[in-house]
C-alpha cells in the first residue's frame, strides 16, 4: 500500500500598513515567506505567500487614505487579511478603519504591542502603564491623543472585550467575538501580553471567512505563530457560517522565513578585545561590510524622527566614528539652497564608511511640514543613497528615500532588534527600516554593527572630525519634529 505526503502551503496573508517602517515590522512579525510591496498593489498574494503592502497614507488626507484601503482590498483574494495600525493610534485611523470594515463580516481589533510597553485595558491604550491620552506621545501630532480605541475609530461600531474574557478558558473568547460580530459590532480586545494576543488570533481565525484582523505588529506576530504551527489536524470551533475553520495548513519550508535576530544581535556584539584584534577596533570610516553583504558600499543612516532618543542614538554612532551631517530644515523645504550630499570623496575616506544624516531641530518645525521635510531629506540624500546600504528611521522618511531610488519591493531577511527590519533589494543592497519611536539609545549602533560587524564601540575612539564634501559635521541636535514615527 503506497503512501504519499503532500506539503500544504500556509494560507495567504495580505497585510496593509500606512507607512513603510510599519509594513516592514509586520513582515518580520509574520515570519512567513513573502514580500514588502511599496503600493499601490497590482496583484494578490500567491499561494503560501505573505504580502505586506505599504499604502503610504500616514500623511494623506483622510478621504485619500480611505480610498487607498478600498483599492487595496480588491486584491484580498482569499486567505487572511490584516490591517496594521499604529500602536499609539496615529494616522488616518478612523477613515481607514471605516473603509477596511466595509464588506467584512467583522473586524477583530487588537492594538496592543506588549514588547514596546503598549497595552490595552478596558479599551484604552496604555504606554508603560500610563493612559495614552495623558502622555506626551502625541506631541508632534496636530491634535490630542484619543481617550480610547473606540474614540480613535470614529464612527466604526465597536465593543470592548475585557481582559477577563480574553484570558477565560476556551471557548469563552470565541463565543464573545462571535456574538458581537453577529450583533454588528467590531470587537476591540484588551491585551497585555503576547499570550493574550495568541488567544485573540486563535479565536479570530476560527470565526472563518469574512473576518478581518486589525492590530499592531504584536497581533501580526501572533498570527504568524498561529499559521506556523497549523498542522491540518485540528477540529476548530464552528464559525459564523456554521462550519469549523481550523486554519489547517503547514507552512512551506522551501524558503527560509524572516528570522528574528533581536537576541542574536546582542550575542554577536564583539567585546572590545574581540572587535579590536591586534590592531585595535575599526572606526566607522574604515569598517568593511558583513561577509556576503554588499562589498564596497557605504552605509548611509538617514534619521527622520521627532523622538528625543534619536539624539542619543546619533551620538553613539558619532562616537564610534560615523560622520554626522545635520541639515537645516529650511534647506530641505527650499531645495535650491542645498547641494547633493557627497559621502564618498572627502579626506581619503573608504567608500564603505558610515554617514548619519538628520534634520537640525534647533528651531521648531510645524508638524504639518512632515511630508515636505521628509521629501526634502530624501532629495538631499538621493545621490549618496544610489549605491549605499541604507538605514532609514521613520516610515515617511523611508518611503520617500526608496521612492527617490525607484525601489518598489523589498525581501525581508531578519530583524536586528524589534522593529529594525533588514531587507534586501533587487540589486542586492541591504535596507534596514525602523519606526522612529522604537529602539534604545544604542539602536542605531546595533543596526550599524549588524551591517558592519567590525564597527568600534563608542568608547573605543573619539568622534571623527572629517566632514563629507560640501557639508559640515555637527554634534547631534534634536531632530525636527516630523511627527512620523510608527
For 106, 162, 200, 237, 243, the CA distances from 171, given in Å and listed in that order, are 18, 15, 11, 8, 15
pLDDT of residue 85: 97
3-state secondary structure of 112: coil
pLDDT of residue 264: 36
pLDDT of residue 436: 85
- Please give the sequence-ordered ranges of beta strands (E in DSSP) within 248-309, or none if there are none: 259-260, 299-303
Distance in angstroms (rounded) separating the CA atoms of residues 481 and 1: 69
pLDDT tens across 63-108, in order?
999 999 999 999 998 789 999 999 999 999 999 999 999 999 999 9
pLDDT of residue 342: 67
Average pLDDT over residues 422-441: 92
pLDDT of residue 291 exceeding 70, the answer is: no
DSSP letters for 212-237? EEEE-HHHHHHHHHHHHH--S-----
pLDDT of residue 455 exceeding 70, the answer is: yes
Average pLDDT over residues 449-459: 81
pLDDT of residue 284: 44
pLDDT of residue 429 exceeding 90, the answer is: yes
pLDDT tens across 306-316, in order?
677 888 999 99
pTM of the model: 0.79
For 97, 99, 245, 273, the CA distances from 207, given in Å and listed in that order, are 20, 21, 7, 55
pLDDT tens across 205-233, in order?
999 889 999 999 999 999 999 998 874 43
Name the maximum alpha-carbon separation found in the chain: 79
Which 8-state DSSP code applies to residue 11?
P
Q: What is the mean pLDDT of the chain?
A: 80
Helix axis angle for 20-30 and 217-229, nearest 10°, is 30
Pairing relationship of beta strands 124-127 and 118-121 according to DSSP bridges: antiparallel
Q: Cβ distance 45 to 15 under 8 Å?
A: no
Closest CA to 15 of 79, 86, 58: 79
Q: Cβ distance 68 to 16 under 8 Å?
A: no
Average pLDDT over residues 450-455: 88
Average pLDDT over residues 402-417: 95
Distance in angstroms (rounded) separating the CA atoms of residues 458 and 451: 16
Pairing relationship of beta strands 106-110 and 211-215 according to DSSP bridges: parallel
pLDDT tens across 263-278, in order?
333 333 333 223 333 3
Confidence category of residue 368, pLDDT binned at 50, 70, 90? low
pLDDT of residue 459: 56
pLDDT tens across 147-175, in order?
999 999 999 999 999 999 999 999 999 99
pLDDT of residue 203 exceeding 60, the answer is: yes
Confidence category of residue 339, pLDDT binned at 50, 70, 90? low
Distance in angstroms (rounded) separating the CA atoms of residues 2 and 16: 44
Q: Which three cell numbers stand for residue 403?
A: 521612492
pLDDT of residue 297: 84
Amino acid at each position: 500500500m503506497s503512501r504519499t505526503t503532500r506539503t500544504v502551503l500556509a494560507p495567504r496573508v495580505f497585510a496593509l500598513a500606512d507607512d513603510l517602517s510599519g509594513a516592514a515590522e509586520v513582515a518580520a512579525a509574520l515570519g512567513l515567506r513573502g514580500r514588502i510591496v511599496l503600493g499601490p498593489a497590482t496583484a494578490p498574494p500567491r499561494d503560501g505567500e505573505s504580502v505586506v503592502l505599504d499604502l503610504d497614507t500616514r500623511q494623506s488626507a483622510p478621504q485619500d487614505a480611505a480610498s487607498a484601503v478600498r483599492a487595496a482590498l480588491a486584491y484580498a483574494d482569499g486567505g487572511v487579511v490584516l490591517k496594521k495600525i499604529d500602536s499609539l493610534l496615529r494616522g488616518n485611523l478612523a477613515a481607514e478603519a471605516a473603509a477596511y470594515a466595509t464588506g467584512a463580516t467583522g473586524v477583530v481589533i487588537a492594538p496592543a504591542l506588549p514588547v514596546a510597553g503598549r497595552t490595552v485595558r478596558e479599551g484604552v491604550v496604555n504606554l508603560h502603564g500610563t493612559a495614552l491620552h495623558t502622555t506626551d506621545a502625541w506631541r508632534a501630532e496636530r491634535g490630542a491623543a484619543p481617550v480610547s480605541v473606540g474614540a480613535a475609530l470614529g464612527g466604526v461600531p465597536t465593543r470592548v472585550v475585557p481582559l477577563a474574557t480574553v484570558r477565560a478558558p476556551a471557548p469563552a473568547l470565541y463565543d464573545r467575538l462571535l456574538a458581537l460580530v453577529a450583533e454588528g459590532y467590531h470587537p476591540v480586545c484588551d491585551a497585555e501580553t503576547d499570550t493574550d494576543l495568541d488567544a485573540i488570533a486563535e479565536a479570530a481565525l476560527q470565526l472563518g471567512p469574512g473576518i478581518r484582523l486589525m492590530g499592531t505588529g504584536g497581533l501580526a506576530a501572533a498570527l504568524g505563530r498561529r499559521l506556523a504551527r497549523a498542522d491540518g489536524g485540528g477540529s476548530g470551533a464552528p464559525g459564523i457560517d456554521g462550519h469549523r475553520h481550523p486554519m489547517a495548513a503547514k507552512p512551506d519550508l522551501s524558503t527560509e522565513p524572516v528570522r528574528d535576530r533581536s537576541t542574536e544581535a546582542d550575542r554577536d556584539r564583539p567585546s572590545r578585545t574581540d572587535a579590536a584584534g591586534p590592531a585595535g577596533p575599526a572606526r566607522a570610516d574604515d569598517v568593511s561590510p558583513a561577509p556576503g553583504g554588499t562589498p564596497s558600499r557605504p552605509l548611509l543612516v538617514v534619521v527622520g524622527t521627532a523622538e528625543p532618543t534619536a539624539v542619543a542614538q546619533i551620538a553613539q554612532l558619532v562616537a564610534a566614528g560615523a560622520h554626522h551631517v545635520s541639515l537645516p530644515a529650511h534647506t530641505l523645504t527650499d531645495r535650491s539652497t542645498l547641494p547633493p550630499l557627497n559621502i564618498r570623496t572627502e579626506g581619503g575616506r573608504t567608500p564603505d564608511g558610515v554617514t548619519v544624516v538628520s534634520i537640525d531641530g534647533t528651531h521648531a518645525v510645524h508638524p504639518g511640514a512632515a511630508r515636505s521635510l521628509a521629501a526634502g531629506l530624501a532629495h538631499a540624500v538621493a545621490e549618496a543613497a544610489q549605491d549605499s546600504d541604507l538605514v532609514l528611521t521613520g516610515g515617511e522618511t523611508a518611503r520617500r528615500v526608496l521612492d527617490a531610488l525607484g525601489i518598489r519591493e523589498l525581501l525581508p531577511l531578519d530583524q536586528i532588534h524589534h522593529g529594525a527590519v533588514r531587507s534586501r533589494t533587487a540589486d542586492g543592497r541591504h535596507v534596514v527600516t525602523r519606526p522612529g519611536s522604537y529602539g534604545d539609545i544604542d539602536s542605531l549602533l546595533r543596526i550599524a554593527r549588524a551591517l558592519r560587524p567590525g564597527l568600534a564601540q563608542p568608547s573605543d575612539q573619539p568622534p571623527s572630525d572629517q566632514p563629507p564634501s560640501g557639508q559640515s559635521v555637527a554634534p547631534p541636535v534634536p531632530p525636527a519634529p516630523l511627527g512620523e514615527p510608527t
